[in-house]
Amino acid sequence: MEASIQRDLKDDYRKVFVGSKEGRRVLTDLLQHCGVLRQVIDLDSQVQTAFNAGQQSVGLLLMDLVDKRGYDAIIEMEKLGAELTKIGEEDT
């Protein structure tokens, strides 16, 4: 991919995911579903391990695309993730 297109795409990802509270909330949810902060290895299943690793690689790509500001926002995302978990528990 051409360098200027790649740079523009990274800027777009930052604007969408880091530029607002809603974007950070969506990114947090995606990263949780991708298992970025959990172990991918399933000792009982190589297939599940491969699936988990694939999911995690998508989350890591997202983190890379949002760049440093995204990494700086991880603490905020973890807080939002805890809030989402709490809300989910209250709904059940």
DSSP label at 20? S
Indicate if the pLDDT at residue 42 is higher than 90: yes
In the chain, % of residues over pLDDT 70: 79
Amino acid letter at 63? M
DSSP label at 74? H
Residues 20, 60: Cα–Cα separation, whole Å: 20
Structural Rg of the chain based on CA atoms:
15
For the chain, what is the mean pLDDT?
82
pTM: 0.66
Residues 69, 85: Cα–Cα separation, whole Å: 24
The residue-averaged pLDDT of 47-75 equals 82
Indicate if the pLDDT at residue 3 is higher than 90: no
pLDDT band at 92 (very low <50, low <70, confident <90, very high): low
- State the chain's maximal CA–CA distance in angstroms: 48
Single out the residue of 19, 26, 38, 35 nearest to residue 77, CA to CA: 26
